Amino acid sequence: MRFAITIVAACCLGSCASGWQGETLSPSDVNDSPHVHAGHPVLVRGYLSLDSEAHVMFESREISNRIRAGWGTPGFDPRDFIQYCLTIANPQLLMENKNWFDGKTIVIKGEVDPAYRSRVFDLGACVGEPALMIDETDLRRRYGKFMN
């Protein structure tokens, strides 16, 4: 019995030391309640769109494709997709490695800034207020083998 308790305790301690213990969010989860997620690390899974005009994470590739196809056409309103798009507040490391990151669905650890758009003029941002400030150390740990 003592051996079983020791094994369970060791496993719990090992999983705590290895990193994340919370759920993985989507861009719409963050947009639905940005203030709830602000002030502590979160994991967000989404599809990256990185170019000279955008540094954002979409809910999925399909949402990204629908926005690209509709952009500039009569009747298209990007606000219809506001909940599915999350701005990356510090995209430099992603942009430096754009050839690998652009068009990928990945998990990013960071902190939510619930009022990013009200404080920052950012032409590459989503329509919604919040943004994700990437934990660059964690990004390098997760994806360093793909980076320059």
| pTM strictly above 0.85 | no
- Quick check: 107 and 47 in contact, CB under 8 A? no
How far is C-alpha 74 from the chain's CA centre? 30
Q: What is the pLDDT of residue 4?
A: 41
Count Cβ atoms below 10 Å from residue 125 Cβ, excluding itself.
21
Q: What is the pLDDT along the chain (148 residues), one digit of tens a residue?
A: 444 443 444 444 443 434 545 799 999 999 999 999 999 999 999 999 999 889 999 999 999 999 989 989 999 998 899 999 999 999 999 999 999 999 999 999 999 999 999 999 999 999 999 999 999 999 999 999 999 8
Q: How far apart are CA 135 and CA 41, in angstroms?
A: 8
Give the DSSP per-residue string, 113-146. ETTHHHH---TTS-SSS-EEEE-HHHHHHHHGGG
- Give dist(CA 72, CA 105) in Å, integer: 25
